[in-house]
Amino acid sequence: MTIRFTDPVPQPRRWLSAVASLGAIGLFSWLAGCSVIADADRAQCSTTSDCTNRGPEFAGTICSSAGVCEGDPSHPQCTKDTECATISGAICTAGFCEVDPQWSCRAAPANASLGYKLTMHLQDAVSQKSLRGVTAQLCKKLDVTCDSPIGATVVSDDNGGVTMQIEAAFDGYVLMRDTKIAPALYFLTAPASGDLDLPTVPLATPFQANGIVSSAGGNTWKEDRGIVLLNAFDCQGKPAANLTFSAGGTIDPATFIFYLVGNYPTTNSTATDSTGYGGLVNVPVGVTTIAATLNPGGHKVSTTSILVRAGFVSYSSVTPNSL
């Protein structure tokens, strides 16, 4: 079986012409057309300490054999809902404060993912034309410059098609280059089962990528920095609103976080809207840890590590429990 996941919010394609004058249509069209697979099958934990480190809402939980943080019957948390008031969306169930299942996925361990066939259909972010001749290499996450790519380099065909075989428990990205696009790192999320077909993968040109920076609130894309574009989803694979992104460590003054609000990027908002889109601009080179917290209440729903390279655009989904 092949898993195909199309963007649940396709309507921004209709207003591309209306915002073309802003110079950031690359951002808008990528956000509108990016096809990702929401990862509702990642493990929350491998040890009980992984649970307690997730925050106060996981106090008293233990890591089950399925990789899920569950309440320890010998240490109940609550007797009534009001005792769970400090945890966003939680209610008292059988002595434990349980978060809405929208944000607490029961998952199989990430390292248990099976091998699968990946098919990507590359398009120009604005014209939607197929991108022929883009080179694609499969790289492990820790191979930050892809010095040891897995398998042969693949070149997209006349229809923008790229097909690769992904090994079991793979954790990494597809590196894509061509003069027509800003160099891209596309981070993969394994399907729960079957193969993965991404029917639309819009990629930004260098001009469009620079438009992202200027329209989102910056001046220019600094040549020694990268851009990170994010799609946020809940456990049902639906776009996630009211999530706030934050980057680990000390934030560089040139780096800023933006969200898509009313179909436009802005730094005046502090959380995602119903599209679940946002990103980081002028991010220093290296591995950046990005956390997503739910508002109100500050319940942490996701932490993920994303590689940033100078002059590259990194594309990634943000899904609950991706620790």
pLDDT value of position 86: 63
Residues 172 and 58 both lie in one domain:
no
Last residue of a domain, one of 98, 118, 139: 98
Number of domains in the chain: 2
Beta-bridge mates of residue 315? 186, 229
Residues 79 and 129 both lie in one domain:
no
Residues 242 and 286 both lie in one domain:
yes
Domain membership of residue 281 (yes or no) is: yes
Residues 202 and 66 both lie in one domain:
no
User: pTM of this prediction?
Assistant: 0.71
Domain membership of residue 146 (yes or no) is: yes
Domain membership of residue 189 (yes or no) is: yes
Domain membership of residue 305 (yes or no) is: yes
Domain membership of residue 77 (yes or no) is: yes
Residue type at 169 in one-letter notation: A
Which portions of the chain are predicted below pLDDT 70?
1-44, 56-57, 59-60, 71-76, 81, 85-91, 99, 105-113, 321-323
pLDDT value of position 152: 93
Residue type at 286 in one-letter notation: G
Domain membership of residue 19 (yes or no) is: no
Residues 28 and 75 both lie in one domain:
no
What is the span of the domain harbouring residue 60?
48-98
Structure token digits, residue 245: 């992104």
Residues 85 and 188 both lie in one domain:
no
pLDDT value of position 74: 60
Domain membership of residue 172 (yes or no) is: yes
pLDDT value of position 238: 87
Domain membership of residue 80 (yes or no) is: yes
Q: How many CB atoms neighbour CB 267 within 10 A?
A: 13
* Environment class of 14 (CB within 10 Å of its CB; exposed 0-12, middle 13-18, buried 19+): exposed
